[in-house]
Structure 1
C-alpha cells in the first residue's frame, strides 16, 4: 500500500512542477464543465423562442352567406385575426403562391393555406354527404430537424384554434341574430317574420306538450300493464280452476263439456236399460211370487226367505232408479237449455211415479214375508195384493220408460251431439290457457322491461315538457317584442354578452397543469444528460492526455512495483482529475446555470461518484487494451448518448436500446441526478447510486486480475506502434 501512495505522490509532484502539465490538467478539468454549461444554457428554454420561427399563412377563403340568414361569414378572416394576436410562432400573412414558394426556398419553416371554400365547408358541415373541412400544411424538413416538429405543433394549435373560432363564430352568429333583432323591429317584414316565428314557437310548444301527454299516456298504460303481467299467471291458473270447478259441477271428467256429454250418454243409456230391465224383472218377480205362494203350505219358511229376497231385489232396483233420477235432476237439469226442461220434468215425474209404485211393492213384499207363516189364507189374500202391486209397478215402469224414450231421450241425444262439438272447442280453450300460462312464466323479465320502458317514457315526458316550457318562454318573449319592441326577454334568455357565451361554448373545458416533479426549465431537465456525457468525455480525454503505462524502474527513485501497485498507484492522478471535473461541473450547475436542484449536495455527490466510476472504467480499458480500450470507451459513449434515456424516453426507442439501457453506467448516473434535481421518490436516488457503483466491481476485476495475460501482448503492440514513427 505504501508503494501505491508513493506512486501517487510522485505523479502529483511531477504534474505540479511542470507549467505545461498544469495547463493541460486545467484544460482537462474545465472542458467537461464548458461542454455541460454551454449545452444547458443553449437549451434552457428553446420553446419560449418559437416566435422566431417564421410560418406563412395564406387565406383564400371567399366567405359564406346562407339563403336563410342574410349574414356573410368569413371564418378564414377570423382565423387570420386570431393568428395576428398569437405570438407562439412568427406568423406571416401572405398569398398562396408566396407561402408555398417561401417554404421551398427556406424563407419559411412551414406554410398554412386556407382554401377558398373554407367558410362554406365549415358552415355546411351538417349537410348530408359533407366531408371534413381540410387545410393544406406545407413544411420544410430540410432546413432543420427539430423545426418541423415545432411548427407541426404550431399547426396543430392552428387547427385547434380554427375549431374554437368556428364554434365561437357559429354560436356568436346565431345569438347575435337574436340580440340584433331590435334593429329590424320597425320594419313591416320583420314584424311579419316575428309573428310567424312566435306562432311557430307556440305551435312547437303545443306539439311538444302533446308529445309529453302521449308519453304520459304510455307511462300510465305501462304502469297499468305491469300488474296485469304480474297477475297473468294467476289469471290463467284461476281459469284452469274455473274449468275444474265446471268439470266437478258436471259430475267429473276431463273437462266440463266432455263430462256433460258423458253424463248425458251414460245417463240416457243407463236409464233406458235400467227401466227396461226393471220392467222385465217385474215379470220374473210376478212368476217368483206365484211359485212362492204355490209352495206356501209346504215351505213357509223358505217362502218367507224368497219373499225377502224378492223385496231386496225390488229395493235394489228402486235405489238404482233413485240414483239415476237424482243424477238427472242434480247434474243434468242445471245444464239443459230452457226448451228441454218441460219434457225433462215430465219424464222425471213418471220416474218418480214408478219409484213410488216399486216402493209400495217392496213394502208389501216385506210385510208378506213377515206374515207368510201366520196364516195361509191371509197369505193368499196378500198374494193377490202383491200381484196387483207388481202389475202396477211394471205398468208405472213401462210408462216411465215410454215417456223417457219417446219424449226426453231424443232431446238429450241431440244435446249430447251438440256438446260433443263444443267439447273440441273447450279443449282448444284449455290448450290456449296452458300456452298462455307457459308464455307468461317469464313475467318477471317482461315486468322488468315494462319498468324500464316506464322510466324511459317518464323521462321523455319530462324532457318534452321542459322543452315546451322553453318554447313557451320564447313565444312570450317574441310576443312582448312584437307588442313593445323590447328584446329584453330574448336577451335574458341568451345572456347579455353573446361573445362571452360563444367563447365559453367554443372552449368549455380548461386544462390545469399540475406538475408532480417540477424543474425550472427545459435546460435544467437536460442537465443530467449533458453532465454525464461531459464527465465521460472528460475521463476519455484524461486517458488520452495522461500516460497509463508504469514508470520505468530506477528512473523515478521508486522501488520495483507489482502490476497491482502500478494499476492502483497510477489511477490516483486519474481519480484526482475526475474529482475536480465532477466538482466543477456540479457546482457550476448549482451556482452558475442555476438549475435549482431540490437536493444540491446530492447532485454534487452524484457528480463525484459518476466521475469516479467513469474514470475507473475508461482507465481500466486503456490499461488493459491500450488504444483499443480508448476505442471501446468511445463506442460505449456512442451507445450511452441514446441508450441512457437522457433525451428521449426509452419506450419510444427501438427495443435493442431498451434492452441494453440497464447495462450502461450513464443510465443510472442520469437517474440519480434527476432525483437530486426534481425530487426523490422512495429512495430512487440511492438505488441509482448503488447500481452506478456496481459498475466499479467488474472494472476492478478486469484491472487487477483479468488484465495480467494482456500485459506482455499490450507492450509488444505499443512497441510496434512506436516503430512506425507515426503512432
Structure 2
C-alpha cells in the first residue's frame, strides 16, 4: 500500500476504436484515431490497442485487462453537431470489472475520465480553430459591413437633408393649401354675393331699361319743358333785376329803422332819467308824509299854534305830488306810447316793404314766409313786451298818485270845513296820513320796479339797435350781392339756352342708351343663367382645396415623422458603423496554440498542499503504525506470562515493577523497530522525527498497559476482549476514511477509542507539523490510568502469596 498510484503504468487496459473520420468546416476530424494514438503513447497505464471488441471483452472477463475503452463509430461525427438544433454528446464507453479488483476498477475509471477529458480538450481546440477562422471571416465581413454602413450613414444624412427640404416644402404647401382653401371659401362666398349682385343688377337693368324707355318717351316733353325753362329763365332774370331794386329799398328802410331804434334808445335813456327823478320825488314825498304824520300827532297838543304849518305841509305835499309825479309819469307814459307806436310802425313798414320786394321778385310763398320770419325774429317782440309792462306800471303809479291827491284834497277840505272839530279831524288826518305814508311806500316800491323795467327797456333798446344794425348790414349784403345774383341769373339763362340747343343730342343719346340697356339686360340674363354653374364649380373647387389642405397637412406630418425616422436611421447607421468597426477590430484576433489551449481548457487548478504527505504510505502510516503496535501488544501477551512472578514480591508495586521492565523493553523495542524499518525500507520522512518516536513509544506503552490489564484481570476472556477492542478501533479511529463517512455507531465510539488519539498524534508529527501535545496528554492519561489499575491488581493479589511458594524447588515445578 505504500505507493500503489505510482505503479499505474503497469495496470493493463484494452482500447478498441470503431470511430469513423468526418469533415468539419474544411477540417478533417479523426478524434477516435487521435485518441487511440495518444493512449498508445501514454505511460499512465498499460494500454493495449485492439481491433476486436470480442478479444477485449474476453480479456476483461479473464482478468487480463482491468478496463476496456471502446470508441464508438459516431464519436467524431458527434463532435460536429455543436451548432445543430439537437447537438449530440461524444460518449466514450469504458467497462470495468470490480469483481476482479474493486480498487483497480476505480483507478481505471478515473483514467477513462481523464481520457475523455483529454478528448474534450482536443475537440475544443478543433472547435476553437474553426471558430477563430470563422471569427476572422466575420471580422472581414464586419469591416466590409462597417464600410457599407458608413456609406449608408452618409446616404442617410443626404436623405435626412433632402427629407428636411421636402418637409419644409410640404409645410409651405400645407400653409399655402390652407390659404388656398381659405381663398376658395372666400371666392365661393364672393361668387354667391356676386350671383346675388348679378340678380340685383338684372333686376336693376330691367328697371333701368324700363326707365330709359320712359325717358326716351318723355324726351320730347323734356325738350318742350326746357324751352319753357328758357323762357322762365329770361323772366327770372327780369325778376331778379326788380329784386335787386327792392333790396335797395329795403336797405334804405333798414337805415330808417336803425335811426328810429337809435332815437328810441335815446328816449329810453331820458325816460330812465325822469323815472329816477320821480323816484327821488316820491322818496321826498314819503319823507314829508312821515313828517306830516308826526306833526299831526303833535297838533293834538297845539292845534292853534301849528294849523298854519299844517296847511303849508299839505300844500307842499300836494304840489310835490302834482309836480313830481303826475307830470313826470305823464311824460313817461307818453314816451312809452310813442315808442310802442314807432316799433309797431317800423315793423309794419319793414314787413310791407319786404313783402313788396318778394312779390316783385316772383318768390314763392315759402320763400317769402322764410324772409319775413327772419326779419320778425329780431328783438322787437321783447321791446314791445317791455314797453307794455312799463306802461302798466306807470298807470298804476298814476292811480296811486291820484288817490294820494284825493286824500290830500279831502284832508284840506276837512280842515277848512271843520275848524271847530279840529282835534277829531286831526286824529282822522293822522290816520289818513299814516295810510298815505303806507301808500307812498307802495308807490316807492312800484317806482323801483319801474326803474328796473326802464333798465330792461334800455337793455332791449340796445339789442334792438344791434338788431337793426345787423338788419342794415344784411340788406347791404343783399344789395351788394344783387349784382352777383343778376349775373348768376344771366348765366342760368345762358345755360338753359345751351341746354335747349343740346336737347336734340340728348334725345338721340337717350335712344342709344335705351338700345344699350336692352343689350345689357340680355347679357345680364345670360350671366344669371350661368351663375349656378359658376357657384357649383366654386363649391367643387372649395372641396378640392380643403382635401388638398388636409392631404398636404397629413403629408407634412408624415414627412416630419419620416424625418425623425431618418434621423434615427442615420444615428443607428453611424452607431452600427462604429460598432462594426470596433467589432471588426476586436474580432481580428491572431490565434495561436496557446489561444486554442486557453479555449479548450479556460479553467485549471493549482493545488497547494500545506501538509507533507508525498504518497499513500505516508498518509496510511499513522493508522497502520497504531494497528501494528496494538497487534504487538496482543502478540507479546500471548507469549509472555504477565502474571506469575519469578520470585516472591515484597510489595504489589515491586511485583508490577518486575513485570513493567519486561513490557517496557518490548514496547521500546517494537517502537524502534517500526520507526527504523519504515524509514529505511519505505522512506518514511516525518516532519517531526523525535516527536514521532515519542508518540510511537507512548502509544506502544498505552496499548501494552491496556492489553496487560485485560489479560491480568480476565485471563483468556481479556485476550478475547482485546481482539474485540482492536476490531472496534479499526473501524472507529478514522485511520482510513474520515470518521464523518462512517455510520452513527463508529461516530459515537470514536472519542472513546485510544487509537483515535494515537492516529491524530502521529498525523501531527508525520505530516502536519503542528503540536501533538493535547493528544499526547490523553495517551499519557490512559497509560497512567491502566498502570494504576495494574498496580492495584498486584497489591490485591500480593496478599494471596506465601514466601514458601517461591522456593527454588517449588518455583521449578510451578505451573503459574
- Structure-2-length-normalised TM-score: 0.43
- The structure whose residues are more often helix, as a share, is 2
Larger radius of gyration between Structure 1 and Structure 2? 2
TM-score (norm 1): 0.48
